[in-house]
Amino acid sequence: MDPQPRIGVYICHCGVNIAATVDVKAVAEFAATLPGVTVARDYLYMCSDPGQRLIQEDIKAHNLNRVVVASCSPRMHEPTFRGAGEQAGLNPYLVEMANIREQCAWVHSDRGLATDKAKWLVASVVAKAARLEPLEAREVGVTPEALVIGGGVAGMTAALDIAEAGFPVYLVERSDHLGGRVADLNRIFPTLERVADLLGPLTERVQSHPNITVLLNTEVTQVEGYVGNFEVTVRGVEEPLGVGALVIATGYDVFNPRRKPELGYGQYPNVITSLEMEHRLAAAEESGPEVLAVNGRLPKKVAFIQCVGSRDVQLGHPYCSRVCCMYTAKQSRLVRELLPEAEVTVFYMDVRTFAKGAEEFYDEARKKRVLYRRGMVSEIYRRGERVILAGEDTLLGRPFDFEADLVVLAVGMEPRADAAELSSLLKLPRSSDGFFLEIHPKMRPVDTAVDGVFLAGCCQGPKDIPDTIAQAKAAASSALIPLLRGTVPAESATAVVDVEMCAGCGMCVEVCPYGAADLDALWNVSRINPVLCKGCGACAATCPSKAIRLQHFTPDQVLAQVDALLG
């Protein structure tokens, strides 16, 4: 059935990303000698428009029937090159990629060895390409509804945008109220507005929106299905909810400073967290500064300690929590206003003010005589009614024993304790710090490895409110894509049965997780329903008579890859 393979091979320099380590010219020359290869070239950026055009022109000029692109991971650009092939009239499944960047150039430094490896990787994929078969692209319908997990600012914002676009949304919230962590705050930087004035109207809009079903005191217990057609089981809701897309907005946990016992939190009444300070500041606005008293006295010296639980490799929290510098600037300013007599000192290692208006706000704090001292506090112990902060002023190069009445620990964020549960429910990978993993930290910060599942807010990593809202709106617009299109591409690389060889043992029926395989009652042979099949290949690997093949990953293709690797 196959005409003679006429393969075009394209080796990408990826600027210097590949070319610095791999001799791309040598790889292209080698590729030209491989069986079935008609043309082999190298180019600076294959994914660029001229790079793609190069492939398309070759397809026409050389009548190519297979294309191999050796560049980055197929997880990055497979859709790009399949699309380019398709535009030139080539079935997209006849385009294959060799990963010589992530799995070669970036992980090896010896140019000779890396070039050698790249050659064999290309040879392997060329061998597979020669045996590729065209597959039919298929589409399936989409359930035009969405589900958002988490009723904080991120979840509410995403739900509202999807609802405003005209689609029904379920908003699943574990607690008995909307608002999330932001509801715990008093005022926000840099405007010093009251949180209640901002959160109230947002919550009100969500609760009254006809397209939004708010499910409080509920949690997701099971997720089945795929992009376009998820079935989500929610505790407390009888029927599973059918939705086309999911937004994860589960937020974060606040770092518990008891994990740093040297700071004396929980031991001395003088030491409190920034969140507790937030509550006290709110109370002080209502009933006067007396609520800030410690041991019955208004504090004369107030200290803030930055980065508690953040930027700390030993705690497994290597990241910056991104909000503490600014909320400390805010709280320290408020303390200066409430207690004009008090000395306010902030101990820090770096001050990070990247949000809009943040540096200006920090300037104001210093001008209001909040004193910033560079140097971290190493431990806190008691002296009478006060506490001693032992640390070093790194600018003076001298240790200090700083006496204070009230110490505020600027606690950071950490992944929710239950993030692992949700991660395994959704098969959603997490990064090494425990937050949910986006597909690419720069280019695709909202998408996840699971199609149709998008991230919003601090469940992906610490961020402030504007960044959270921006990401929530991005997640909503991504979730709307399948809902608006009405269809999503279905897996084409499904399993197929050779009925001549099938003995009707039924092992495929047992191993298929999707109920896609069953036995034909009349002929007692296996049948695989291509609509249900997700292409995992469990049946093919199990079939004792080798009657089932997983298309696009057939034993013929895979073993050809192995053979080619051996050289």
209-228 positions binding another protein, by CB under 8 A: none
What string of H, E and C letters represents the secondary structure of 174-237?
A: CCCCCCHHHHHCCECCCCCCEHHHHHHHHHHHHHHCCCEEEECCCEEEEEEEECCEEEEEEECC
Cα distances (angstroms) measured from residue 560 to each of 33, 135, 306, 354, 549: 17, 19, 58, 53, 15
Q: x-or-dash pattern for another protein, window 286-315, by CB under 8 A?
A: ---------------------x---xxxxx
Of 158, 164, 183, 170, the residue nearest 215 (C-alpha): 170
**Interacting residue with another protein among 8, 375, 412, 452 (CB under 8 A):** 375
Cα distances (angstroms) measured from residue 519 to each of 493, 506, 509: 21, 7, 8
Three-class SS state of 312 = strand
Q: Which residues contact 9 (CB under 8 A, 6 or more apart)?
A: 28, 31, 32, 34, 37, 39, 40, 41, 67, 68, 70, 122, 126
Smallest distance, another protein to C-beta of residue 176, A: 30
Alpha-carbon distance of 500 to 71, in angstroms, equals 40
Identity of the residue, 282 or 324, whose beta carbon is nearer to another protein in the bound complex: 324
Smallest distance, another protein to C-beta of residue 88, A: 24
Per CB under 8 A, contacts with another protein among 65-84 are 73-75
Cβ atoms of 140 and 242 within 8 Å: the answer is: no
Per CB under 8 A, contacts with another protein among 31-50 are none
**Interacting residue with another protein among 25, 430, 473, 527 (CB under 8 A):** 430
What residue has token string 């617009």?
Answer: 477
Of 483, 512, 486, the residue nearest 497 (C-alpha): 512
Identity of the residue, 185 or 426, whose beta carbon is nearer to another protein in the bound complex: 426
Of 179, 187, 191, the residue nearest 154 (C-alpha): 179
Per CB under 8 A, contacts with another protein among 123-152 are 124
Smallest distance, another protein to C-beta of residue 115, A: 10
Identity of the residue, 349 or 503, whose beta carbon is nearer to another protein in the bound complex: 349
Site membership for another protein, residue 368 (CB under 8 A)? no
**Interacting residue with another protein among 195, 199, 243, 538 (CB under 8 A):** 538
Per CB under 8 A, contacts with another protein among 322-361 are 349-350
Amino acid at 345: T
Site membership for another protein, residue 565 (CB under 8 A)? yes
**Interacting residue with another protein among 437, 458, 502, 516 (CB under 8 A):** 437
Which tokens go with 22?
Answer: 């791999």
Cβ atoms of 453 and 444 within 8 Å: the answer is: no
Other C-beta atoms lying within 10 Å of the C-beta of residue 525: 16
Would you say how long the chain is, in residues?
567
Which tokens go with 209?
Answer: 């929106």
Stretch that binds another protein, among 148-156, 285-293, 358-366, 431-439 (CB under 8 A): 431-439
Helices 111-130 and 555-566 sit at what angle, rounded to 10 degrees?
150
Cβ atoms of 276 and 407 within 8 Å: the answer is: no
Site membership for another protein, residue 550 (CB under 8 A)? yes
Cβ atoms of 478 and 470 within 8 Å: the answer is: no
Per CB under 8 A, contacts with another protein among 409-428 are 423-424, 427
Q: How many CA atoms lie within 13 A of 344 on its CB side?
A: 22
**Interacting residue with another protein among 394, 487, 524, 529 (CB under 8 A):** 394
Per CB under 8 A, contacts with another protein among 252-271 are 261-262, 264
Other C-beta atoms lying within 10 Å of the C-beta of residue 503: 13
Please calculate the CA angle 435-437-438 and round it to the nearest 5 degrees: 130
Identity of the residue, 503 or 541, whose beta carbon is nearer to another protein in the bound complex: 541
**Interacting residue with another protein among 235, 382, 444, 485 (CB under 8 A):** 382
Per CB under 8 A, contacts with another protein among 155-214 are none
Site membership for another protein, residue 445 (CB under 8 A)? no
**Interacting residue with another protein among 102, 133, 164, 231 (CB under 8 A):** 102
Smallest distance, another protein to C-beta of residue 511, A: 6
Smallest distance, another protein to C-beta of residue 382, A: 5
**Interacting residue with another protein among 26, 298, 449, 505 (CB under 8 A):** 449
Identity of the residue, 29 or 393, whose beta carbon is nearer to another protein in the bound complex: 393
Smallest distance, another protein to C-beta of residue 311, A: 6
Site membership for another protein, residue 397 (CB under 8 A)? yes
Smallest distance, another protein to C-beta of residue 16, A: 14
Stretch that binds another protein, among 109-117, 129-137, 463-471, 499-507 (CB under 8 A): 109-117
Smallest distance, another protein to C-beta of residue 515, A: 12
Stretch that binds another protein, among 30-38, 56-64, 156-164, 554-562 (CB under 8 A): 554-562
Identity of the residue, 135 or 183, whose beta carbon is nearer to another protein in the bound complex: 135
Please calculate the CA angle 550-121-45 and round it to the nearest 5 degrees: 105
Cα distances (angstroms) measured from residue 506 to each of 179, 465, 500, 537: 52, 55, 15, 15
Q: x-or-dash pattern for another protein, window 492-521, by CB under 8 A?
A: -x-----------------x-x--------
Smallest distance, another protein to C-beta of residue 558, A: 6
Beta strand segments in 442-535, E: 453-455, 487-490, 495-497, 517-519, 526-528
Site membership for another protein, residue 371 (CB under 8 A)? no
Site membership for another protein, residue 244 (CB under 8 A)? no
Site residue total, another protein (CB under 8 A): 78
